[in-house]
Amino acid sequence: MKKRKVVSTTVLAAALTALVGGSAGIANATEPCGDFGECKVLVEINSSDGDIGFHFLMDGDNLRYASLFNPKHRKIFSYITRRELRQQFLTETFAESAEPLCFEPEEGSDEEGEDFVTLEEFIDRWTEGEYHFYGIGEGWELSHGVSNLSFNLPAAPMLLAWEEEEDEEGDVEGEISWQAGVDLGECSDGMELLPMAPADVPVAAWEVVLEPDVEDGNILGSMKYVVRIPGDAEEFEVEVPDDYLEMLPNDTPAKIEVGAIGFDDNATFTEIGDICLNEDEGCEEED
């Protein structure tokens, strides 16, 4: 018996790793960055919710102090360790800006009154080019690394779908599928200002996240299934292991996110809810 729910949406999205637990939409530098083990600046968009943000990551050894400078050589972030943390030091630092809407909410809509910054305003606010990371280590040695911020934003994945069926032994099999997109979903206004059309931005990897929605306090709520596959995969689909689905009770509501990750690490995500895992009697609809 096959059950299928397909949700269509025009909105977006990285490494051959599957894991249970963890989070999506996190900056992932993959190569050393000057004196740092990693450093990266990037833009991330949620095309379904219509929000946009700036993310950065630095990873060094036993840092006392770290800072980030924009291409105009102006400091935009810094931290200094103190007291217990001065004795323990820091290594990795990941941060993301607030993520305002990328469109002006309509009067009477659920988003009315929320902060927003259009794509045009975002591009004007964040300078494209080299961002410099600096750190001071345990022995007062100086570390430096450079990461380039671009506005090559990959198009949002579209036509996300969940398909579930039982095999002959009664085990539940699940599959997530999607298609490459053409725009930035809710953030598409102003795309003509980008250096490259989103549909033309090569995708380095696709990140797929299945997140069960369980009661607060239930450990299963943190057991996301996350996997990344190459951007040039022959088929845009991911099988969800039986062992993972068997951990969840029947009729578990869930949501799915698929992200297109560009070679500059910029990421555009699309999500759908109203997914029912291990469907038996059907998931209750939210009010």
Of 120, 149, 178, the one marking the end of a domain is 149
Asked whether residue 35 is assigned to any structural domain, the reply reads no
Same structural domain for residues 212 and 235? yes
Of 149, 177, 212, the one marking the end of a domain is 149
User: What average pLDDT does range 72-91 have in this prediction?
Assistant: 92
Lowest average pLDDT, out of 174-178, 228-232, 244-248, goes to: 244-248
Asked whether residue 284 is assigned to any structural domain, the reply reads no
Residues 37 and 29: beta-carbon distance below 8 Å: no
CATH number of residue 77's parent domain:
2.60.40
Cα 133 to Cα 2: distance, rounded to the nearest angstrom: 52
Measured at the CA of 152, the angle between CA 143 and CA 115, to 5 degrees, comes to 90
How many domains does the structure of the chain reveal? Answer: 2
User: What average pLDDT does range 48-67 have in this prediction?
Assistant: 94
Amino acid in the structure at residue 160: L
Nearest to 162 by CA among 148, 153, 172: 172
pLDDT score for 109: 67
Lowest average pLDDT, out of 14-18, 66-70, 83-87, 91-95, goes to: 14-18
Asked whether residue 285 is assigned to any structural domain, the reply reads no
User: Pairing between strand 203-212 and 252-262?
Assistant: antiparallel
Sign of CA dihedral 57, 60, 66, 71: negative
User: What average pLDDT does range 71-97 have in this prediction?
Assistant: 92
pLDDT score for 33: 92
User: What average pLDDT does range 7-11 have in this prediction?
Assistant: 27
Residues 52 and 99: beta-carbon distance below 8 Å: yes
Q: Which pTM does this prediction carry?
A: 0.82
Asked whether residue 282 is assigned to any structural domain, the reply reads no
pLDDT score for 87: 87
Same structural domain for residues 140 and 208? no
The single residue listed with the structure tokens 């797929």 is 208
The single residue listed with the structure tokens 């989103």 is 198
CATH number of residue 229's parent domain:
2.60.40.10
Residue % of the chain over a pLDDT of 70: 83
Q: Is residue 247 over pLDDT 70? A: yes
Lowest average pLDDT, out of 19-28, 40-49, 96-105, 253-262, goes to: 19-28
Residues 50 and 186: beta-carbon distance below 8 Å: yes
pLDDT score for 214: 74
Of 149, 180, 197, the one marking the end of a domain is 149
Same structural domain for residues 173 and 135? no
Cα 190 to Cα 110: distance, rounded to the nearest angstrom: 23
Same structural domain for residues 55 and 94? yes
User: pLDDT tens digits for 176-229?
Assistant: 999 999 999 999 999 999 999 999 999 999 999 999 987 655 556 568 899 999
Same structural domain for residues 184 and 218? yes
Same structural domain for residues 181 and 231? yes
Residue 60's domain spans which residues? 51-149
Same structural domain for residues 197 and 138? no
User: pLDDT tens digits for 95-152?
Assistant: 999 898 998 877 766 776 778 899 999 999 999 999 999 999 999 999 999 999 999 9
User: What average pLDDT does range 160-180 have in this prediction?
Assistant: 86
Asked whether residue 39 is assigned to any structural domain, the reply reads no
User: pLDDT tens digits for 24-35?
Assistant: 444 444 568 999
Mean model confidence pLDDT for the chain: 85
pLDDT score for 286: 58
Cα 5 to Cα 227: distance, rounded to the nearest angstrom: 21
